[in-house]
Structure 1
């Protein structure tokens, strides 16, 4: 077994590998760029080596830097994580030439399966069912249009060396093919250093289901069930689960056996994933094989009890698998939510900045529920524009699917992230979505259910009552604290007055205090909106970011943030501002005029902090609705900004190469 390994990656996956290595008694070496000097993986590792500037192309993507770090520290093996160099056969060969072990498959398998174009050729030759497409390299946009026309729209444009949704576009017509080809090629070049593109038929309403395989150097290959990865946005997985709510045992076995046969054909030695698209009739088609550890591997670990990172290390050290196919059982259900630094209310555009508060839910086993959080950040960490925007992978396990989903809902409500925008509100809302809870999924789920983007939904009547109870409990404790600490200055806070009004949106709910103690822990009986009294209990104290307690005997965990004259409460997938006031104040407030937001309809605002790739118009130019105005890149993704209506450009304030802050004015319209 190895004494020391180097992790050629960053963020949560580097931390994940370090945890298993530590458990196995193996010392670890981290590598870091300028941007990651104070990162968590650097702190966790036994040693750390600086490898260059922040851009990945000048640090994490340079094999010579990794090899030099191995020589410098005496690391005997390299775990590549995912992304970066994880599927680059030349990197594996370079390590072997230096006598350093690559903790992953051999170059033969990487070359055969890691390249999407070559993998499809190989799969076809092996009689594996594949999606119709053009397996050669696309020369240019004209060639892309020609091929797409032959295949038939819609088509999927993909980066050959891609992964993680980078370099992927769906095109429904010639114009989208031309634009998608160029954007995919740019993203592929930026993310993987390889701008080759291929095109295949896009199967409408498919499920994305993948099989986890594990092989060793002694000819043993097994599969460890499947993962459902159909909840995707811009071809990027958002929520995964294991097992799939769609597959039956017969289909699972058929997909697993086909995956094992494919892995054996290339002498696969490590953890890998065979991805399929599955139609409504359970017909499945080989999509690609990822010759690396997948982002979503924790859900497989939770339902099988197998540490995939440990198995990868043992296989790389030459040990045979001790797990047989008959030993693999799927126990319970696991769900993974990917927490991204992005604004769900602005079409999920990236967000960067410092985590002023980062407090995940408590990990571990509690009753029939397990909570796991794979992360690479801590409070004070900075989310930069140079890397993937994923903050963490929150996982829950429970005996049944609904129990796992409910556990995830609670965990999301307790996950505190401040300082940047993030997608927790969307994930929390998703956990309550009827279609998701019923398991009626497809890769088009988000586009179909949120065609106009994600927006906060109003709480229903029962939810309003719970939120009103929490809001009043919070306000009473704040006022009680004010009376006790500065009572001489504010002796009439009204904390013990019996009648209150809680405003939620445009609704005013009358709440009466029946009886109880206004102190922490609080226990008070409230009559809400004319209903029967309910008991509210909690040990929440002013300043806590999460309110935990019970309302009418029901456990509630809600995010609490003070705002001007009120409290922002996020619970059960709903986020509202609740304002607590006395009845006479509520009567006066209803008479106040509504302040309108400023008019920005004649401006193109930068939707996220990013780099201007191009400006496609000139001052004085008339453009039609849908035409491209500018392209902004953030976190390795290109975002095309289009005209929402016919207009004339009156002034341009930015040019290619400019770095812009969110809401910076790119151009103005006449």
Structure 2
């Protein structure tokens, strides 16, 4: 079904123009792509179809429009009003929500290509970006695939074959078994021969799917099972390989660009070591670990590998680098990478522009000596995830309030959502790629912290608390990172912002100031004030700030504060054992999306999520949302008389940690189970999660069946 251009642009013209203005102001060719001038006289495609969705579709459309190329979007039924559909010149529906019936529906996409008169297809990343059958069908139709040739994709897309090719190209490789794992028993046998720890992964995999690490026989057995299931679900290919796991490694990748004339260059490296479940969370360019000689050696091997397979597009060669700076080939991604913007910032080259040029048959205009390394850039992947559960289990919901921090200098947001957009269980939970740039690492990090504080996301759970804490954590700031950074720094899981005494006191000062500001504002409009404060103490107050609901500051239960408020100057004097001066801007409003407090000359940007008349409030402070209650003396004394709530034993209740689909149930009613035993498996965004018993007991209730779609926190099973 074709959606009329007129209808799209009438409905959304204001929003689209706003987006374009933001891009023009922040990411003009002159400033961002300083080394990649567009030649208007160079032959180019007239119309390109983007076989993808979300932020990457918007990203490709942006460069196409800057080149004067018309764009065609495809969408599933559930994506009919998304940004990539609105931004394209034409848009066609290709099927229902499940990706297998829409974005992977090759026949429907080929039909759209015929109808629209498309000359070329850019696949983005994921979906059909490394599908050689799709590329061949395009070639048979005379349609250009904006990516590498099918031979390169096939050779590098198979991890087993790519490793053999890398050996022939004299590229350093990881020790392992050069073949397919037959079954779970074979997996355990190979793991013993190679020596634990080992990495089990899908031969056709990518994006962290179909990968499991094993330190013993039991983990190898389970890793085989889960990797195989995820490989089938994600890639329709259950072949697995096994190799030695390099301990304390850094994950560093080299961006390459090659044309169809035998020319190839690399665009330096990206540091991608901050990962959870083998998926990247924060990336940076360049790496603090590489010196010029190591960068040169890795770059030369990356180009040697690319030329060995006749590569002819943008691609990424990924390496593991151990603590002694020995590096090993991991895999090659024959597509545009999620994290490509940080390379664009530091090299000044529009990678999508180069992909389109190469696909059209043009030679690269750059040689290796032309490639600069300018400044520093970070990318934080902002996900709809709960970071308090295994560093990020998917969340769903609607963006009821949404504001990107693009008003800050040197900030770029690559997103495919807007206020009102829905995040659902069918696709990756990525909300936005937040990119910041600086003349050095410290400046880029400071801009990232400011951006995360000003990023407004309401209506669903997101991972900004984790991102914000990482970028200020001392080991990360000093560059002491590896792929095990998260479990090393947060051995008990992420609990929220790492709070020191200064942060705690500042948070208390902010909460108390907000409470009093709200009180004084209400006195101007409410005759019979219901907030329980002493009328006679109009200038001075004693308040109690209860922080007991926040696990990461459990040692600080309730803090007494003596406060003096000067309404004329919007200044608070707060005594919390030591004196703090809090100042508010003259136009301060509790209704603002973000609020700036000056505490002892330091600026804190916070978000007031909610504030009730009973003193309960939620404040987002340094990324983390804190549940706080502010009380006057009278209320605090009454609170001490209330007995604490009894604790409920939740170990007998098994809840789904996230929205997903029940893939298997391993028990029946009346079965006796032991602590640690698997009960069922939940799949979301193609990742499988095993639900295990936290204590021994008998199964008394099973509230789901295989194939059911379940919500986060939904009770799946109960034990007695």
Asked if TM exceeds 0.5, the reply is yes
The equivalent residue for 1:381 is: 421
* Distance change >3 Å, CA 458–CA 60, structure 1 → 2: closer
Pairwise CA distance, 1:332: 1.2
CA contact (8 A) 2:539 2:566 kept: no
Pairwise CA distance, 1:512: 1.7
The equivalent residue for 2:589 is: 541
The equivalent residue for 1:552 is: 600
* Distance change >3 Å, CA 399–CA 597, structure 1 → 2: farther
* Distance change >3 Å, CA 334–CA 502, structure 1 → 2: farther
TM-score by length of 1: 0.95
Separation (CA, whole Å) in 1 of partners of 2:531 and 2:134: 71
CA contact (8 A) 1:432 1:572 kept: no
Pairwise CA distance, 1:62: 2.4
* Distance change >3 Å, CA 273–CA 406, structure 1 → 2: same
SS at match of 2:254: strand
Separation (CA, whole Å) in 1 of partners of 2:287 and 2:682: 36
* Distance change >3 Å, CA 614–CA 523, structure 1 → 2: same
After superposition, where does 1:487-502 map in structure 2 within 5 Å? 487=527, 496-502=538-544
CA contact (8 A) 2:199 2:212 kept: yes
* Distance change >3 Å, CA 632–CA 8, structure 1 → 2: same
User: Which residue, out of 468, 491, 512, partners 1:451?
Assistant: 491
After superposition, where does 1:251-266 map in structure 2 within 5 Å? 251-266=294-309
- Residues 573-627 of structure 1: per-residue CA shift (max 9 Å, x gap): 5442333333333343344332345442221112212111111112222222222
The equivalent residue for 2:668 is: 618
- Residues 279-300 of structure 1: per-residue CA shift (max 9 Å, x gap): 0010000011101011111111
- Residues 412-464 of structure 1: per-residue CA shift (max 9 Å, x gap): 11111121111111111112211111111111111222222111256322112
User: Which residue, out of 618, 626, 629, partners 1:568?
Assistant: 618
The equivalent residue for 2:154 is: 111
- Residues 536-579 of structure 1: per-residue CA shift (max 9 Å, x gap): 12343122232124222222111211154222222225442333
Pairwise CA distance, 1:364: 5.5
The equivalent residue for 1:529 is: 576
Does residue 694 of structure 2 align to residue 651 of structure 1? no
The equivalent residue for 1:142 is: 185
The equivalent residue for 2:687 is: 637
Does residue 506 of structure 2 align to residue 466 of structure 1? yes
User: Which residue, out of 255, 272, 289, partners 1:212?
Assistant: 255
Pairwise CA distance, 1:208: 0.4
CA contact (8 A) 2:651 2:695 kept: no
The equivalent residue for 1:510 is: 561
What is the aligned-residue RMSD (CA, Å)?
Answer: 1.9
The equivalent residue for 2:366 is: 323
SS at match of 2:94: strand
CA contact (8 A) 2:655 2:717 kept: yes
After superposition, where does 1:429-448 map in structure 2 within 5 Å? 429-448=469-488
Separation (CA, whole Å) in 1 of partners of 2:707 and 2:581: 59
CA contact (8 A) 1:432 1:573 kept: no
CA contact (8 A) 2:469 2:498 kept: no
User: Which residue, out of 447, 452, 459, partners 1:407?
Assistant: 447
Separation (CA, whole Å) in 2 of partners of 1:525 and 1:611: 52
User: Which residue, out of 104, 109, 120, partners 1:77?
Assistant: 120
Separation (CA, whole Å) in 2 of partners of 1:422 and 1:557: 18
Separation (CA, whole Å) in 2 of partners of 1:219 and 1:476: 69
Separation (CA, whole Å) in 1 of partners of 2:658 and 2:104: 26
SS at match of 2:257: strand
The equivalent residue for 2:678 is: 628
Which one is further off, 559-568 or 224-233? Answer: 559-568
Separation (CA, whole Å) in 1 of partners of 2:246 and 2:354: 34
Pairwise CA distance, 1:80: 0.5
* Distance change >3 Å, CA 70–CA 552, structure 1 → 2: same
Pairwise CA distance, 1:8: 0.4
* Distance change >3 Å, CA 563–CA 490, structure 1 → 2: closer
The equivalent residue for 1:592 is: 642
TM-score by length of 2: 0.88
Q: Give unmatched runs, 5+ long, in structure 2.
A: 1-43, 548-556
Pairwise CA distance, 1:111: 1.5
Which one is further off, 248-257 or 348-357? Answer: 348-357
Q: Give unmatched runs, 5+ long, in structure 1.
A: none
The equivalent residue for 1:161 is: 204
CA contact (8 A) 2:512 2:545 kept: no
* Distance change >3 Å, CA 646–CA 535, structure 1 → 2: closer
- Residues 240-295 of structure 1: per-residue CA shift (max 9 Å, x gap): 11100111111011001111111111221111100000000100000111010111
After superposition, where does 1:254-403 map in structure 2 within 5 Å? 254-347=297-390, 348-363=392-407, 365=409, 370-403=410-443
Which one is further off, 421-430 or 621-630? Answer: 621-630
Separation (CA, whole Å) in 2 of partners of 1:238 and 1:106: 30
* Distance change >3 Å, CA 525–CA 481, structure 1 → 2: closer
Which one is further off, 426-435 or 648-657? Answer: 648-657
Which one is further off, 447-456 or 576-585? Answer: 576-585
* Distance change >3 Å, CA 593–CA 182, structure 1 → 2: same
Separation (CA, whole Å) in 2 of partners of 1:514 and 1:535: 10
